[in-house]
A and B are shown apart, each in its own frame.
Chain A
Amino acid sequence: MLALFARDIRLSIRAGGGALTGVIFFLAVIATIPFGVGPDLKLLSRIGPAILWIGALLACLLGLDRLFQADREDGSLDLLVLGNDRHMLALTVLVKCIAHWAGSVLPLVVAAPLLGLFMNMEPLAIGATALTLLVGTPAITFIGAVGAAVAVALPRGGLLISVLVLPLTIPVLIFGVSASYGATANPDPFLQPFLILAALTLFLGVLGPVSAALALRHGTD
């Protein structure tokens, strides 16, 4: 399992891996917002957390279609499915998700504080947004894994996965953004939405890999 994690991380860093694409997309989205909205610093800092979350969400979806498709194309997926007796397939999927998250999504979380400066956000708001992103983005990867597993046989499944997955990620977005606001706006609570966000990640961390494994198991042809 550790070998699988190490392999996927290595692949995401090597040429052709998705580690940088997401960050550059994220940067492009956030950097253009101030130009579109105009130089209203108050407005920017107010919408900052929401924009960071939306940008991160879309950047997360970007590389998801390759999660299983790359393995399917070179035949590795067959062997991963056959290994079910030694390494339960759901666990294999979980490890692949975690590796994908660490390789392609964690850089987004790291870049978020820097991009928060573009949005004229206060240090506290930046910290809260980065923290909620850290806790919430794994949930997006787990949901995305289900979409990626369902669409694994489709040659151009990228857009389909985004359409399938986007509605399901809305709760994560809502609680992520409301927790980020809760940290700065006084009457709003921080802890409750944050805990729900953490619960979502944990819940989807089980449900996602199990359903994705089911889809992969029946998707081999």
Chain B
Amino acid sequence: MRLIAENLGGERGGEAVFSGIGFALEAGQALVVTGPNGSGKSTLLRVVAGLLPKAEGRLLLEGGGDEFPSIASACHYLGHQNAMKTALSVAENLRFWREFHGEGRLDVEEALETVGLGGIGHLPFGYLSTGQRRRAAIAKLLVSHRPLWLLDEPTAGLDKASEGRFAGLMTTHLGDGGIVVAATHLPLGLDGVNELRMGGAR
């Protein structure tokens, strides 16, 4: 599987945020997008996911087969928001996303154990702390399989131990032939990753 971007340009509200971005990622490779605030990291991720139209350039995913015909169908998008309902319990949230996304991998309890939230699946999501919420959102990546992970500030709010655990999860994902594109300010603890530095703030 290959994710290729050529001469990619993105805009927000009619104003160009970035242009001329290109990269090619093979299965098992990760791309870390860094840069100051307002340099377009989140916009880039949303353009890659297909949530924003691209202003110019080309984006394609090769070798997805019938299962993952497009980037949108092949990706997990973890944005700033956790996409969980505060009124539902953590397990209910995860169970919903597992069924909605399909391609089930770990079951809900296993995924919660993996992110270190074992035994709190019955609590309403709204009761959790910021870091715990983020970890529950990371568990969402584990309950259903997607080869491409698009992560926007994935470790925001996580403590040191959780950061390390998450680095391990990403390494496992890459080892299984996955692709990770992460926008971040913090070092993610991945070895030998490609780095894309977005331009300075305007």
Query: Which chain A residues have a beta carbon within 8 Å of chain B's beta carbons?
Result: 2-4, 6-7, 10-11, 14-17, 73-76, 78-87, 220-221
- Bound form: Cα–Cα A80–B101 in Å: 9
Tell me whether chain A's interface is mostly helix, strand or loop, or mixed. Answer: helix
Determine the residue in chain A with the shortest Cβ distance to B69. A85
Query: How distant is A104 from chain B, measured CB to nearest CB, in Å?
Result: 15
Cα–Cα distance between A69 and B85 once the two chains are bound (Å): 13
Contact of A221 among B50, B52, B75 (CB under 8 A): B52
CB <8 Å contact, A75 and B79: yes
Residues on the A chain within 8 Å of B51, using CB: 78, 81-82, 220
Of chain B, the residue at the smallest CB distance from A3 is: B99
Main secondary structure of the interface of B (DSSP, over half): loop
A3 and B96 within 8 A (CB) = yes
Contact B12 A75, beta carbon cutoff 8 Å? no
* Top 8 A-B pairs, shortest CB-CB distance: A75-B81, A3-B99, A85-B73, A75-B83, A14-B87, A76-B83, A220-B51, A7-B96
A78 contacts B85, CB within 8 Å? no
Q: Looking at A7, A16, A80, which has the most chain B CB atoms within 10 Å of its CB?
A: A7
Nearest-neighbour CB distance to chain B for A68, whole angstroms, equals 14
Beta-carbon nearest neighbor of B101 in chain A: A83
Q: Can you name 6 A-B residue pairings with CB atoms under 8 Å?
A: A7-B88, A11-B87, A73-B81, A76-B85, A79-B101, A81-B51
Measured between alpha carbons, how far is A75 from B100 in the docked complex, in Å? 15
**Hey, which chain A residues are within 8 Å of B79, CB to CB?**
75, 78
Decide yes or no whether B170 CB sits under 8 A from chain A: no
Cβ-defined contact, B83 with A78, below 8 A? yes
Q: Given the complex, which residues of B lie within 8 Å of A82, measured CB to CB?
A: 49-51, 72, 75, 77
Q: How far is the CA of A169 from the CA of B150 in the complex (A)?
A: 41
Q: Is residue B84 contacting chain A, with contact meaning CB distance below 8 A?
A: yes
Assess A17 versus B70: contact at CB under 8 Å? Given A3-B99, A82-B49, A82-B51. Answer: no
Most buried by A among B87, B92, B100, B102: B100
Which of A4, A16, A17, A74 is most buried by chain B, counting CB atoms within 10 A of its CB? A74
B82 contacts which chain A residues (CB < 8 A)? Answer: 74-75
Q: Tell whether, in the assembled complex, residue A17 and residue B77 are in contact, meaning their CB atoms are under 8 Å apart.
A: no
Residues of chain B lying within 8 A (CB to CB) of residue A11: 85, 87-88
Q: Which B residues are CB-close (under 8 A) to A7?
A: 85, 88, 92, 96
- Interface residue? B95 (CB, 8 A): yes
Contacts A7-B92, A75-B80, A85-B73 known; list 12 others, CB within 8 Å.
A2-B99, A6-B96, A10-B92, A11-B87, A14-B88, A17-B87, A75-B81, A75-B83, A76-B85, A82-B51, A86-B102, A220-B51
- Distance of A14 Cα from B85 Cα, bound (Å): 11
